């Protein structure tokens, strides 16, 4: 049986480089992070959902980066 593993919000903040609580909630609202599970009065984040969100974000970054390279205009030659 596959049991889920969770991390707390402080652990989540460290995972992403000591981000703030506000950044956590902004990322959740933007869909960058999954909604936490509430156990008792604490938020817990499913590690497998976080890994999937990271994969999606990485792929979006790569697509955006590739698109920006192809959308760049060629250098302008000065006419003499």
6-53 confidence digits (pLDDT tens):
999 999 999 999 999 999 999 999 999 999 999 999 999 999 999 999
H/E element, 25: helix 21-30
pTM attached to this predicted model: 0.76
Q: What is the pLDDT of residue 72?
A: 59
On the question of pLDDT at 80 being above 80, the answer is no
**Separation of alpha carbons 45 and 8, rounded Å:** 6
Cα separation values, 64 from 46, 60, 67, 76, Å:
27, 6, 5, 24
Angle at 59 between CA 18 and CA 71, to 5 degrees: 110
**pLDDT tens digit sequence for 52-61:** 999 999 999 9
């Amino acid at each position: 049986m596959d049991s889920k593993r969770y991390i707390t919000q402080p652990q989540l903040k460290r995972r992403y480089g000591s981000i703030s609580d506000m950044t956590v909630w902004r990322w959740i609202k933007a869909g960058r992070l999954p909604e936490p599970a509430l156990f008792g009065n604490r938020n817990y984040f499913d590690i497998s959902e976080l890994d999937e969100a990271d994969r999606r974000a990485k792929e979006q970054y790569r697509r955006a980066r590739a698109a920006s390279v192809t959308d760049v205009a060629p250098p302008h030659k000065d006419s003499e």
